[in-house]
Amino acid sequence: MQKTPDDIIIFLLVTTSIILVMAGFVITIVLLYRKKQISYQKDIDHIKAEYEKAILNTQLEIQEQTFKNISKEIHDNIGMSLTLAKLNLNTLTPDRGEQTVKKIDSSVELISKAINDLTDISKSLNADFIKEYGLINALEQEISKLKSTGLYGIHFEIDGETTFMNSQKELIIFRIVQEALNNILKHAQANRINIRLSYHSNGIYLDISDNGIGFPKDRTGETTGKKKGSGLINMKSRALMLGGTWNIETAAHGTIIKLTVPY
């Protein structure tokens, strides 16, 4: 007895259905696994981000503690020694003529300048200053320090209604500005710096721009994927730690850093 064509079709339908059910089963397994994998990856990323945040926080704490110790050392020991040296020179009775007097006066002047500079450095290293006087005062002091060199025309602008943030956040923003200014001094060959601090309802926007030579795009790491400078990485990771954004644009006529930090 031979099977009729209908029976063959039924048989083919049955086997095709079995194969389709099995293929569907495997595809379902793959999709479920993929879904689980995505969720697992999200968890891993979250844990990694938290871990990196904790590491960065610890690094910042250690850095601040180190800065504080250096600041204290400058103020208590070096500052004291220089003050004593200045005092000694002031109380010296010159007996070798006008030239000696001139030299002593010049030395007193140099020591005074060194004491002032060290006081400034001490203040900018010490986070207590920010806690006490706030971000704007700290920035103004940093800017006046730069202005006093006579090498830069600095324009500092504040927009919006000033809103106080917690001192830890302000300290991190201040360190980002310090890093940005430090980069301008070291690399930009600029003579104009603009700093604009805008207070918005959702956070602060900070733009730091200069009219320097800019730098090759690969140094930002954004376009070529090459290693970024540690200063740029630090700025970015600090901004991300605050839950904000950090962006850098560079061209032959200057560089602009844009930072946003939520309250």
Partner 1 sequence: MNHDALERLIKESRQFLFTDFFVIACQLLAIVVIVRCRRRDKMVYYFLSYCCAGFLLFLSGRIRFALYTGKESTTRYLETGNVIFALIEYAVFYYYFKTVLRAKLIKAFMLIAMIVLVAVSSLFLFSVFFSNATGSRIMQLSDLIISPELIFLGILCLCYYLELLRKRPSTNLSTSPSFWIVTGLFFYTLVIPPFFLIISDDFEIQHRTVFDILAVLHYISFAFLFLAITKAILCRKPLTT
Q: Residues in the site for partner 1, rule: CB under 8 A?
A: 1-3, 7-8, 11-12, 15, 18-19, 22, 25-26, 29-30, 32-34, 36-37, 40
Closest CB to partner 1 among 37 and 65? Answer: 37
Q: What CA–CA distance (Å, rounded) separates 173 from 139?
A: 10
Closest CB to partner 1 among 7 and 218? Answer: 7
Tally the C-alpha atoms within 13 A of residue 176's C-alpha that lie toward its C-beta.
Answer: 32
Q: What CA–CA distance (Å, rounded) separates 113 from 146?
A: 15
Minimum distance, C-beta of residue 51 to partner 1, in the bound complex (Å): 18
Minimum distance, C-beta of residue 8 to partner 1, in the bound complex (Å): 6
Angle subtended by helix axes 5-73 and 167-183, to nearest 10: 80
Minimum distance, C-beta of residue 69 to partner 1, in the bound complex (Å): 44
Minimum distance, C-beta of residue 224 to partner 1, in the bound complex (Å): 28
What is the β-pairing status of strands 192-199 and 153-159? parallel
Closest CB to partner 1 among 20 and 151? Answer: 20
Closest CB to partner 1 among 12 and 101? Answer: 12
Closest CB to partner 1 among 7 and 61? Answer: 7
Q: What CA–CA distance (Å, rounded) separates 193 from 196?
A: 10
In Å, how far are 52, 109, 178, 217, 241 from 220, measured between CA atoms? 21, 42, 18, 6, 19
Minimum distance, C-beta of residue 47 to partner 1, in the bound complex (Å): 13
